[in-house]
């Protein structure tokens, strides 16, 4: 059982024409999933246009279009690590938000009375603020708590600043680690409890690509402890072996 407890300079970089011509993974990913589900589980988190983070998001999407996820997750030359982690954390929230949105009708109080990832792993919810003592709850309730909590973190300008000149908090990477650790649990639940529905909806390729992107990113910057990845370690090993690493 697992429980929970717990000034930037003005920079605007022009994205090269070569990158802008590449296929944008995020645009393809979101447009395809949107055709399946007219709504996301939670409102999509948008990065304001005209900000450096927006430029970074475009760069990330263009690089993903090259097809090399290992290279795509690497910190671009001259960029700030906090900013790169922030942009990608928002992106993963949006991806998981849409993926879970496609199977919410199958994830119910009856079908998923506990939040689990297979028979060995059960998650109890606590955010350390409104819910201080871990509580046992259904998967839909847990994921609702989780996604609402993540949304609140992303919307907090003191944690995820989007305005020029506002610094990231000194413990930002630790904050991002907690968010990503919890988002992983949604992937784990989908794979263990709802993969048959994902296949039936013909969304397995999108789930696998999104998860591989997520894993490569958290591995690149050591953002999730290996023990937290245990529910999907076999799948992770297969993905890495398939890519020759």
DSSP string across 7-43: -------PPPHHHHTS--HHHHHHHHHHHH-SS-SSP
Which residues, other chains included, contact 61 with Cβ-Cβ below 8 Å and sequence gap of 6+?
A: 24, 25, 26, 27
Tokens of 152: 């609140």
Query: What's the topology of domain 7-114+138-242?
Result: Butyryl-CoA Dehydrogenase, subunit A; domain 3 (1.20.140)
Q: CA 209 to CA 136: how far, in whole Å?
A: 31
- Would the annotation count 107 as a binding residue? yes
Closest by Cα among 62, 53, 66 to 10:
53
pLDDT for 108 equals 97
Q: CA 117 to CA 181: how far, in whole Å?
A: 14
Q: CA 35 to CA 183: how far, in whole Å?
A: 23
Q: What is the mean pLDDT of residues 108-120?
A: 96
- Would the annotation count 137 as a binding residue? no
Q: What is the pTM of this model?
A: 0.78
Run of H or E residues at 124: strand 123-124
Q: Tokens 């907690």 appear where?
A: 178
Closest by Cα among 208, 216, 206, 182 to 102:
206
- Would the annotation count 194 as a binding residue? yes
Q: Tokens 């013909």 appear where?
A: 202
pLDDT for 16 equals 34
71 alpha-carbon distance from chain centroid: 18
Q: Evaluate whether 126 touches 3 at the Cβ level (below 8 Å).
A: yes
Average confidence score pLDDT of the chain: 81
Run of H or E residues at 190: helix 172-200
Residue 227 pLDDT greater than 50, yes or no: yes
- pLDDT > 90: percent of the chain: 62
Lowest mean pLDDT of 64-68, 155-159, 174-178, 188-192, name the range. Answer: 64-68
Each residue's pLDDT tens digit, 13-70? 333 333 333 334 444 444 444 444 444 555 555 555 656 555 565 655 555 544 678 8
Q: Evaluate whether 121 touches 143 at the Cβ level (below 8 Å).
A: no
- Would the annotation count 112 as a binding residue? yes
pLDDT for 128 equals 85
């Amino acid at each position: 059982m697992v429980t929970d407890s717990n000034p930037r300079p003005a920079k605007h970089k022009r994205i090269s024409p070569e990158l802008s011509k590449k296929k944008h993974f995020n645009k393809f990913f979101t447009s395809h999933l949107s055709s399946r589900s007219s709504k996301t589980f939670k409102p999509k988190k948008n990065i304001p246009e005209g900000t450096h983070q927006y430029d970074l998001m475009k760069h990330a999407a263009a690089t993903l279009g090259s097809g090399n996820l290992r290279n795509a997750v690497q910190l671009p030359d001259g960029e700030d690590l906090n900013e790169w982690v922030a942009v990608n954390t928002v992106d993963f929230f949006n991806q998981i938000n849409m993926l879970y949105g496609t199977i919410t009708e199958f994830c119910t109080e009856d079908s998923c009375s506990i939040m689990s990832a297979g028979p060995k792993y059960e998650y109890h919810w606590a955010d350390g603020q409104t819910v201080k003592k871990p509580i046992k709850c259904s998967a839909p309730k847990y994921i609702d708590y989780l996604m609402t909590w993540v949304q609140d973190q992303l919307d907090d300008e003191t944690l995820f600043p989007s305005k020029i000149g506002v610094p990231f908090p000194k413990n930002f990477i630790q904050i991002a680690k907690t968010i990503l650790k919890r988002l992983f649990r949604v992937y784990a639940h989908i794979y263990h409890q709802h993969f048959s529905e994902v296949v039936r909806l013909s969304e397995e390729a999108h789930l696998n690509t999104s998860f591989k992107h997520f894993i490569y990113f958290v591995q690149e910057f050591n953002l999730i402890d290996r023990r937290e990845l245990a529910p999907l370690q076999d799948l992770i090993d297969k993905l890495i072996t398939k890519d020759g690493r």
